Amino acid sequence: MVLLQWFFNAIYVVIFAKVALSFIMPIAGQRPHPTLVRINLLVNQITEPIFAPIRRYTVFSGIDFSPFVVILVVALIRSKLGV
């Protein structure tokens, strides 16, 4: 049970990091710090397989709602499992 809680919390953290980095990376300028770039690449590698199929249906007026949809689905699965 604790392992499932940790897994779901890790999913939330990675999604939050993706959303935060989507705002931070454009602000970082043309040559962002290499560590920031590595973190962004890692988070993208983790989240893109999940977000890409959903993104086809959840982009409205240039705003991507796929993280919101994934959070809702994860929360639904978590509540059904009773975690």
Region 30-59 average pLDDT: 94
Residue positions counted in the chain = 83
Q: What is the CA radius of gyration of the chain?
A: 14
Q: Is the pLDDT of residue 1 over 90?
A: no
Range of the domain at 11: 2-81
Q: Is the pLDDT of residue 83 over 90?
A: no
Number of domains in the chain: 1
Region 31-56 average pLDDT: 94
Q: Is the pLDDT of residue 69 over 90?
A: yes
Q: 29 or 39: which carries more pLDDT confidence?
A: 39
Q: Are 71 and 8 in contact (CB under 8 A)?
A: no
Region 25-46 average pLDDT: 94
Please report where in the chains the tokens 């499992």 appear, as a residue.
81
